[in-house]
Chain A
Amino acid sequence: MTDLVEPRPVSTEVDEKDLPPLRPPSADNGLAGVLRRRYLLKLLVRREVISRYQGSLLGLMWSYINPLSQFFIYYFIMGTIFRLHEGIPNFAIHIFSAIVIVHFFAETFGAGTRSIVSNRALVVKMAMPREMFPVATMLVSLYHVGPQLVILLVATTISGWTPDLYGMACLVVAILMIMILGTGLALLFSAANVFFRDVGSSIAIINNVIRFGVPMIYSYEMVATRFGRFEHYYLWNPIADAVLLFQRAFWTGSTDRPTVMPDNLLLWGIGMVGVSLVVLAIGQLVFSRLENKIPERL
């Protein structure tokens, strides 16, 4: 019982220079504060992994059922009705590699946007860097990417995939890009969602639009031939780049038929990581501006 209140020198005797400095109590916030408090981050991630599907029969399986059901819908409906099986070699892998990375983005963005409101109980009472919540949701989504990658690896290996160094670099850049971009957007939107809950509701629409703005059910070849010299505007969409990078990593190596990929794809990817960093910086800036009003509005 008595080990709690450890004996300390009585205050009148302490020298000011031996003490921690006087500073604003919320000084430790921001993404830097999140990185400094990794134990807390670990706890939040673990809790979220456990509780995301708490009380559901299939539990974590839902993380795979969602992308898989999407996969089958696109594969059969789009592939059969629009005859894309013929136009795009190894159409299944073309779709699935896109779904994995798009799903990662959609989860990070969607759950991240809701994260502040759904952690209301902690946000209004406890002092901590609130960036913790969007970052934790991103890491949870990243955690779910793992097994999907395994499914993808098995599927590509069966269809005779040969991995290459350039492709693996593409994979890393794509994941990095979505981690940064997703966190940046989640910061921006999670703070906005506190003031207008409409923001949270509009995420579903945005995520839907994104599905069609990336080469998932159509190929980049179609974009290149139909857009002509405007082709590179398409590449200004970072999610499209991430999808292409993923397809370069898994899909192009899994077929012997010729595949069309943009020139300098990896460079585009690295450039978009830079753009994502800018988005993250803006997200952080806006978040810390709005943060002041967040606890009282919840």
Chain B
Amino acid sequence: MAESIRVEHATKSFTKRYQRTIKQVTVAKLRGHKTIETFNAIDDVSFSVQQGESIGLMGLNGSGKSTLLKMINGVMRPDQGTILTRGRIAGLIATGAGFHKQLSGRENLILNAAILGMSEKETMRKFDSIVDFAGLEDKLDTQVGHYSSGQNARLGFAIAIHVDSDIFLADEVLAVGDKPFKKKCLQRMEEVRDSGRTLFYVSHAAGSVRRMCNRVLVLRDGKLVFDGDVDAGIKFLNYDDEPENVEDRDAEEELGADI
């Protein structure tokens, strides 16, 4: 089996607070405050993913999930440790895609596809299919700044899923979409998984993780605290015992509560 992602002792630290002007720095120094405070958003994380695995990445808000994905797709580099990946990477990080607010949906689509590595021909070939998937035919020439956050995510997801990637990252994509769209996304991600590509799925919805993934990683304060079986992972997080009513739970788990 081929390794698809290898993360070794990855650490990423952020600065909590910046004093930007000379005045602020001087005042902070005089008061004996630290001028720079750092913390590890990802703290000595190591794991390895085989190609074709689908990973559910879970953890509370601020536990470092988006930061980890940013390092996997190359937006950020780890301060210490190494991250290696194989093949093309596509996906959606921290709900929205990188769009220019002043540009129209059409222009953003073409630009975004190019950044993700599509050629001009490939983009033209898939253009209609992307627009169709996003369901934004009539909004295509509106500037993206006027899109709702849901529409923004739809377009971003539609582009990313059309890339012939070897690794697909989905970071809380479904959080802002409506129900029919969530359904469509999950279905498409299942196709991605079944085609033998590596899937990295961030979600708080136990049900969809159970449906999509065959392994769960849990982050807590930047540290990898669980790596293993899906059910055990969900149990580890205690996400299971929230909704009382069992029937409610099933519906809820599939699509809902994906915040």
Q: Which of A4, A19, A26 contacts B74 (CB 8 A)?
A: A26
**Given contacts A25-B83, A39-B119, A127-B73, A1 and B93 within 8 Å (CB-CB):** no
User: Are B52 and A12 in touch, CB under 8 angstroms?
Assistant: yes
Is B85 close to A, CB under 8 A?
A: yes
**Given contacts A25-B83, A122-B98, A11 and B77 within 8 Å (CB-CB):** no
Is A21 close to B, CB under 8 A?
A: yes
Is B1 close to A, CB under 8 A?
A: yes
CA distance A258 to B114 in the complex (A): 54
CA distance A25 to B83 in the complex (A): 8
Chain A 1-38, CB within 8 Å of chain B: the 1/0 string?
10111111111101110011111111000000000010
List of A residues within 8 angstroms of B111 by Cβ? 40, 43-44, 47, 122
List of B residues within 8 angstroms of A10 by Cβ? 52, 196
Is A121 close to B, CB under 8 A?
A: yes
Is A154 close to B, CB under 8 A?
A: no
Is B210 close to A, CB under 8 A?
A: no
Which of B102-110, B212-220, B234-242, B248-256 lines the interface with chain A?
B102-110
List of A residues within 8 angstroms of B9 by Cβ? none
Nearest CB on B from A111, distance (A): 16
Is A256 close to B, CB under 8 A?
A: no
Is A54 close to B, CB under 8 A?
A: yes
User: Are B161 and A51 in touch, CB under 8 angstroms?
Assistant: no
Interface residues in B36-94 (C-beta closer than 8 Å to A): 50-52, 70-77, 79, 82-87, 89, 93-94
Is B100 close to A, CB under 8 A?
A: yes
Interface residues in A74-128 (C-beta closer than 8 Å to B): 119, 121-128
User: Are B110 and A43 in touch, CB under 8 angstroms?
Assistant: yes
**Given contacts A6-B195, A12-B1, A125-B94, A20 and B74 within 8 Å (CB-CB):** no
**Given contacts A20-B86, A22-B85, A126-B115, A121 and B98 within 8 Å (CB-CB):** yes
User: Are A292 and B77 in touch, CB under 8 angstroms?
Assistant: yes
Is B204 close to A, CB under 8 A?
A: no
User: Are A47 and B103 in touch, CB under 8 angstroms?
Assistant: yes
By beta carbon, the residue of chain A nearest B95 is A125
Residues of A in contact (CB 8 Å), total: 45
Nearest CB on B from A150, distance (A): 29
User: Are B196 and A22 in touch, CB under 8 angstroms?
Assistant: no
**Given contacts A20-B86, A25-B74, A296-B76, A7 and B195 within 8 Å (CB-CB):** yes
Nearest CB on B from A84, distance (A): 42
**Given contacts A54-B102, A125-B93, A22 and B6 within 8 Å (CB-CB):** yes
Is B126 close to A, CB under 8 A?
A: yes
Interface residues in A173-222 (C-beta closer than 8 Å to B): 196
List of B residues within 8 angstroms of A291 by Cβ? 77
Is B164 close to A, CB under 8 A?
A: yes
Is B112 close to A, CB under 8 A?
A: yes
User: Are A11 and B50 in touch, CB under 8 angstroms?
Assistant: yes
By beta carbon, the residue of chain A nearest B114 is A40
Is A295 close to B, CB under 8 A?
A: yes
By beta carbon, the residue of chain A nearest B76 is A295
Nearest CB on B from A56, distance (A): 13
User: Are B162 and A4 in touch, CB under 8 angstroms?
Assistant: yes
List of A residues within 8 angstroms of B112 by Cβ? 126
List of A residues within 8 angstroms of B73 by Cβ? 25, 127
Interface residues in A124-152 (C-beta closer than 8 Å to B): 124-128
**Given contacts A22-B3, A39-B120, A5 and B195 within 8 Å (CB-CB):** yes
Q: Which of A4, A5, A11, A124 contacts B2 (CB 8 A)?
A: A11
CA distance A35 to B211 in the complex (A): 42
User: Are A8 and B77 in touch, CB under 8 angstroms?
Assistant: no
Of B87, B132, B195, most buried by chain A (CB within 10 Å of CB) is: B195
CA distance A123 to B70 in the complex (A): 11
A interface vs B, CB < 8 Å?
A: 1, 3-12, 14-16, 19-26, 37, 39-40, 43-44, 47, 51, 54, 119, 121-128, 196, 291-292, 295-297
B interface vs A, CB < 8 Å?
A: 1-4, 6, 14-15, 18, 20, 50-52, 70-77, 79, 82-87, 89, 93-94, 96-103, 107, 110-112, 114-116, 119-120, 126, 129, 132-133, 161-162, 164, 166, 188, 191-192, 195-197
- Can you give 30 A-B contacts (C-beta < 8 A)? A3-B129, A4-B191, A5-B188, A5-B195, A6-B195, A7-B195, A8-B197, A11-B51, A14-B2, A16-B2, A19-B86, A19-B87, A20-B87, A24-B77, A24-B83, A24-B85, A25-B73, A25-B74, A25-B85, A26-B74, A39-B120, A40-B115, A47-B107, A122-B115, A126-B112, A126-B116, A127-B74, A292-B79, A295-B70, A296-B14
Give me the 3 closest cross-chain CB pairs, A-B, nearest first: A125-B98, A11-B52, A25-B74
